[in-house]
Amino acid sequence: MVSYGPEQRVYVPELCARWETQTFLHWAYPPEEVQRLLPDGLVVDTYEGSAWVSLTPFVMAGVRPPGFPATLPAFEETNLRTYVRGPDGRDGLWFLSIEVSCPVMLAARAIGAPYHLGRLALSHREDVQAYTGTRRGGGPRYRVAVRPGEPIRPTHRDVWLTSRWRSFSRRLGMLWETPVEHEPWPLREAHLIDVEETLVRAAGLPPPTAQPLLHFSEGVHRVRFGLSRPVRPARRGAGDAPADPPRTEGAGHA
């Protein structure tokens, strides 16, 4: 089961930050379409038989190494992500692409994080949040506008789609894991005003054909990224057959 709160403490963070004004747009896909985009060692995680791909624009603020009082100026970031299980069965995220307006973040390419520099913006008009972005060089782009609604008590599906406590990447022929710790997401309803995007197609998936599920959050303010480390291959006993990909079925969230 995916955990509502952090699964591990990050006692010695590599980076601290805040995530603000975050919108989640989620689309269901056949698992096999997502699995073919994953590296060896990861299997697609499913909810009620579907894989999910999420577009998450937000503002990254207060970015600093621990012990440093100065922070980077706030900047926009937008992730295209899917949900996976690692070799030991633990759940996490695989980023299909990461759009960012801050060149400093490109350093995370060292562990395989798929950062792309671009022109990103967030604007507020009355009660509508509007996000736009274009990858440098005239590449993929997006435009998302939503109207945040009332706070919600998260269901099991809401938690499954928003709460993950590690990400995976691949670099130098190895799978890497980066842990993260923060308070649980305070979620709100969100109403879609407009969405146009070409990030999904650029990542190798067919464009979505259905309206997305949505969430909105004002954000979380104590984000701590742990040190990235290589993932050890899963150990199996002699004669053990490979395990089937884990499946998650819907259930009420207590």
pLDDT in tens, 235-246: 654 444 444 444
d(CA 200, CA 134): 13
Question: What is the per-residue pLDDT across 91-105, written as a single tens digit (0 to 9) for each?
Answer: 999 999 999 999 999
For residue 236, what pLDDT is reported?
A: 56
d(CA 26, CA 214): 6
Mean pLDDT on 135-161 = 97
205 versus 137: which is more confidently predicted?
Answer: 205
Residue 233's pLDDT band, with cuts at 50, 70 and 90, is confident
Contact 248, 46 (CB under 8 A): yes
Task: Using the predicted structure, report yes or no on whether residue 16 has a pLDDT greater than 90.
Answer: yes
* Joined tokens for residue 103: 């060149």
Average of per-residue pLDDT values in the chain: 92
Identify the residue whose tokens are 């842990």.
179
Task: Using the predicted structure, report yes or no on whether residue 140 has a pLDDT greater than 70.
Answer: yes
SS3 of the chain: CCCCCCCCCCCCCCEEEEEEEEEEEEEEECHHHHHCCCCCCCEECCECCEEEEEEEEEEEEEEECCCCCCCCCCEEEEEEEEEEECCCCCEEEEEEEEEECCHHHHHHHHHCCCEEEEEEEEEEECCEEEEEEEECCCCCEEEEEEEEEEECCCCHHHHHHHCCCEEEEEECCEEEEEEEECCCCCCEEEEEEEEEECHHHHCCCCCCCCCCEEEEEEEEEEEEECCCEECCCCCCCCCCCCCCCCCECCCCCC
* pTM of the model as a whole: 0.90
C-alpha 209, offset from chain centre: 21
